[in-house]
Chains A and B, each alone.
Chain A
């Protein structure tokens, strides 16, 4: 038996699991990198066609252990569990299949004895709806992690405005996907501190309800199911929905707008014809008390240009585990308030979990930031990725 296999086998039996993170890969490239790590450096990486053939058959399961630390000395042990949703099967046609996969992943977390489980990306669907889709469990609690995601989006918006010298109070804020859990949470947090709010989503009835709630607090609100109706008016945009094409939003946006890509996978990229628009990836945090993967998936599971950067939804479970608060902090849809966001920010900050440096597909958006591997202030093309084959997976 190879050392790494033996090591993991031993760890699996001897360590208690405080938290579990459930996720899925955002691209075939990311999936290829995960499989390349599992195969080990001594084996040839799997060809692209084999990866696409094999991955859909892998049942949900733990991929690695994750040990984290807090700046105040707390430690927590966790598992990353992948539901192995194929990256090209995230659309509605596969929703039942994907829910079955996430339920399988949740069952793995329960079986492993995780005290708290964060549901990343699509996985949050299990507890965002009106009915409980979780497997039977006893002592395991689940959180969508959306509250900390909202916190980091809001912090990111404030930071980018400060960096760009914009006055948020004079801004018109557009939220795409406004009736979702993250979108509505952002609306509640930011509406009181902007000039006006434009809400866009497909469900008009939910839009009306959210608008009424905000208007009751004296906020100027407009709603539209058609994104094109007012995207040109906004100078600050949060995109909290997956768009079929980034041009639906970016193709019509106002020059010099600030855009937070808060979706998963992140697919808003600045293009030449949109010079002046600043896009950053929102909802990301950085854990400064330390994070170790076993086996070593650094830069592979967290594919960001800065170390120890993780999606807010997953960091929420880590923060709660470090704090010893094993409670379903975020669940349901539309219940994220400014007070809850502030509570979560406090818990996260207590353990050294802060907003990540702002970046986008072209690199850092904060002038003066140096990438850890010395790639320079602004990269010309693409963010650094993990190891693996350089084949043309998308």
Chain B
């Protein structure tokens, strides 16, 4: 389904990137942190792969994610801001820890579910939204990276579908366990307001209330991310009524 809120940005609506640089700085910092964390996850994944081709794949993915992080940093420089990342920020740290638990169990499928189904859904949806409202190369970079992340998901999808076909109940139970762990954290990150303190990525106060100034909103980014997540779970073949219950039970 197409996005359901029109965010097409007219020249009047789009504020100057320079004027809104502090907002973009925080958006870029969140994106860059996500990319660095993804690179770390793929590097960790390479350590539990037995097949040399899978090792090479994981390392290539890690390299790609670092490239994305570098692209975001470069976009920051263009508008005169330093883009920092903080993979130890509270939410991102929890996401990394969830992934590392799968690594500790040498759970290759679990790793793919966390990174490709959950974290990438968030990345693809939010980057796409940002790509539509950000002007010039900033918007182009977000849109390009969103498309590249979607390719990752497609690649993982065939592996995961094959895995699910072996034992759907077991597979769905695993997805649900990981959902409770990872998506609960993501839902807290995506809440309209950060009620439990500073996220440790934004450079000053929380960026969420200011997103309206760049034609975005926290509610829209959350909605788009959850929509993308549900569609990805649909593609895996998990019944829609089941995933609907999962998502509606997330914290807001």
Contact = CB atoms under 8 A, between A and B. Distances in A.
Q: Do A and B bind each other?
A: yes
Interface of A: 1, 4-6, 8-10, 12-13, 35, 38-40, 43, 46-47, 50, 53-54, 56-65, 79, 97, 100-101, 104, 108, 295
Is chain A's interface secondary structure helix, strand, loop, or mixed overall? Answer: helix
B219 A53 contact: yes
Interface in B211-236: 219, 222-224, 226-227, 230-231, 234
Contacts of B241: 8, 12, 61-65, 79
B48 to A, nearest CB: 25
Given A38-B245, A57-B226, A61-B240, A5 B176 contact: yes
Interface string B144-161: 000000000000000000
B223 A9 contact: no
Contacts of B1: 59-60, 100-101, 104
B174 to A, nearest CB: 10
A53 B192 contact: yes
B4 A9 contact: no
23 contacts: A1-B173, A5-B176, A5-B245, A8-B239, A8-B242, A9-B242, A10-B169, A13-B239, A38-B248, A40-B249, A53-B219, A57-B4, A57-B227, A58-B227, A58-B244, A59-B227, A59-B240, A61-B243, A61-B244, A62-B239, A62-B241, A63-B241, A104-B1
B112 to A, nearest CB: 20
Given A60-B1, A104-B1, A9 B231 contact: no
B168 interface: yes
A61 B4 contact: no
A54 B226 contact: yes
Contacts of A38: 244-245, 248-249
A56 B239 contact: no
B226 A61 contact: no
A81 to B, nearest CB: 8
B233 to A, nearest CB: 10
Given A10-B169, A101-B1, A47 B240 contact: no
A54 B176 contact: no
Interface residues of B, number: 33
Given A54-B252, A62-B240, A104-B1, 6 more contacts: A8-B245, A38-B249, A56-B4, A59-B230, A59-B231, A59-B240
A272 B52 CA distance: 80
Contact of A35 (B176, B223, B238, B248): B248
B226 to A, nearest CB: 6
B240 A108 contact: yes
B108 interface: no
Contacts of B200: none
Contacts of B243: 61
Contacts of B5: 56
A388 B243 CA distance: 21
B181 interface: no
Nearest to A86: B4
B172 interface: yes
Contacts of A108: 240
Contacts of B219: 53
B246 A9 contact: no
Contacts of A64: 241
Given A57-B4, A59-B1, A60-B1, A1 B176 contact: yes
B252 A47 contact: yes
Given A46-B252, A54-B223, A4 B4 contact: no
